[in-house]
A and B are shown apart, each in its own frame.
Chain A
Amino acid sequence: MGTRSKKTTDEIIMYIVKIIVAIIMFTPIIWILTGGFKTLTEFTTSSSIIPKKATLENYAYIFKHSPIWKYMFNTIFLMAGTTLGTLISSSLVAYPLARMEFTGKKIVFSIIIATMMIPNIALIIPQYVMFGKIGWLDSYLPMIVPAWFAYPYNVFLFRQFFRSLPKELDEAAIIDGCSRRQVFFKIIVPLSKPTFATIAVLSCVFWWNELTQPVFYINSDRWRTMTIALMTSYTYTGGNAFVINWASIMAAASLMIIPPMILYLTGSQYLVGGIKTTGLK
């Protein structure tokens, strides 16, 4: 009897701790979502989470006074271009690393692991100068083109997945007279659909949220992505005062949170499962 009630108390304490952590983790999201419905005056004068009088004026503002549809389309375009590129190129590169024997395999793989450790930001200045020389600045080319030449991180992930397929598949197909190219496109790719979905989801989340590269490479309004728009489109220099329209920023930020949220709720096996696999060595 005694141990049983101790167990129940244990359970309850556990729940309370879990709920407290959940409240902490969810606070910024609630703050953003409700902030979008506050008037700017309320946002800058009251610290209450719940809006006193919910308003849609911020949403009206961001749709009327900023080309937010364009920013969203831009972000999706960038996301699609990079994701498609990395899926195709990284899977091709990963195939022989996972399932073939060839001279120099070890060296290639070691270099790929080593380059995974380079923080991109260390190379962004020389890349900026380089892309400037060939006239690629203020376009998506500096982000989309490298994606078509395999990201080490995604190569590594594809390799991990490809290795888990039975080796006999390739051997049997080759004995039947298939070429390596046919094995890849006719056997490996169809069997790896969940893998492609996983890496597509991870890549989409990354590019939906990416700020650093657009900040460096994009100047003009017409190529602005949602993340840059959040930083720059709702601040003004009015007279000699610097005004930040926080309420509109929260409304725009709400729009940015919704797609990843839906993605989690509908495709969590790819998102959560994919991230879990990144740690498996």
Chain B
Amino acid sequence: MAQKKRDNRTAFFFILPWIIGFICFTVFPVIFMVRTSLTNAKMVGKPKFIGAANYRNMFKSATFLNSLKVTVFFTIVMVIVTAVWAMIMALLLNRKQKLNGIFQFCYFLPSVVPSVALAYAFRTIFGKDAGLLNGLLTLIRGGAVNINWLYDKQTVYLVVFFITLFTYNTGQMMLIFRSGLADVPEDLYEAADLDGASAVRKFFKITLPMISPLVLFNAVNGCISALNGSFALLYPLTGESGDPNGMTQVLSLLIYKEAFSNMKLGYASALSVILFLLAAAFGIAIFLISGKTVYYEN
């Protein structure tokens, strides 16, 4: 009994930094966010309580509704596109051949390149006048190609999702899938080979079920990264207004714009509340779809 009590006290002291951090940097900001969202707080001056007016205005604003739509679309597509690409790279690397070390270096290195550097590289690669892609297409086609990939409504999503393949998120997923693939027992494949199963069938019937917990982890992690990391990629890529025409203006960009360009902190806080709820909704949705929760042993 006395031992247990002493252990409780010791554990409390070890955990103390987290308790303080959790209260100061999570609980308090959440409360503060909700409170500020009910005011007309600006960068300067005294805020006034205005009830739910920010939320009413928000749902009447075409910019917000567009941004909400873009965020949901961007998050879902980014998670799928990056997970599939990460899986392809992991499967390629899982095939034991010479030079795999060099291939992994090439596949992973873009992930540790700062997103600003990537964004600027791709702004010029997909640029209109001296862009690498237009240059290549000009060579192939024989005539000048002048597509402004990032500012053309028809190509912007294609290009932006292509760029997400180079983010940290993709590299992380690839390495996680790789370690999962390495753990799938060989004899399962040997048995399938005897039955004459095709490579595609083996992938869907053996590989995927065997690494399903990692798929779930990557989906959850990918959603958070898409909601969180999209700012660092899209802000230098398409700007706070999400060019062209708000097509890439995810909520985090809108929050930044409302807070720093329009100086409306109250409204930006209301938007943050929505983003917060959206993240929770995504988390719950993934666990419901997967039909099982990740089990944490004690």
Residues of A within 8 A of B (CB): 11, 14-15, 17-18, 21-22, 25-29, 31-32, 35, 43-49, 89, 92-93, 95-97, 100-103, 105-106, 108-109, 111-113, 115-130, 146, 148-150, 152, 155, 179-181, 184, 205, 208-212, 215-216, 226-227, 230-231, 246, 249-250, 253, 256-257, 260-261, 263-265, 271-272, 275-276, 278-281
Contact = CB atoms under 8 A, between A and B. Distances in A.
A180 B112 contact: no
Contact of A118 (B14, B26, B36): B26
B124 to A, nearest CB: 6
Given A14-B95, A121-B252, A126-B33, A28 B176 contact: no
B275 A246 contact: no
A121 B225 CA distance: 10
B64 interface: no
B158 interface: no
A250 B125 CA distance: 12
Contacts of B176: 275-276, 278-279
A148 B20 CA distance: 10
A17 B18 contact: no
A242 B265 CA distance: 29
Nearest to B105: A264
Interface in B267-286: 268-269, 272, 275-276, 279-280, 283
Contacts of A209: 112-115, 168, 232
What 6 A-B pairs have minimum CB-CB distances, sorted nearest first? Answer: A47-B135, A149-B21, A279-B176, A253-B117, A119-B228, A102-B11
Interface of B: 4, 7-8, 10-12, 14-15, 17-18, 20-22, 24-26, 28-30, 32-33, 36, 41, 88-89, 92, 95, 97, 102-110, 112-118, 120-122, 124-125, 129-132, 134-136, 138, 165-166, 168, 171-172, 175-176, 178-180, 213-214, 217-218, 220-221, 224, 227-228, 231-232, 235-236, 252, 255-256, 259, 265, 268-269, 272, 275-276, 279-280, 283, 294-296, 298
A126 B125 contact: no
Nearest to A26: B106
Contact of A123 (B30, B178, B220): B30
A12 B92 CA distance: 13
A49 B22 CA distance: 49
B189 to A, nearest CB: 15
B22 A115 contact: yes
B275 to A, nearest CB: 4
B26 A45 contact: no
Given A260-B109, A275-B175, 4 more contacts: A25-B89, A119-B275, A130-B29, A179-B10
Contacts of B172: 275, 278
B14 A92 contact: yes
Contacts of B122: 28
Contacts of A124: 255, 272
A211 B20 CA distance: 26
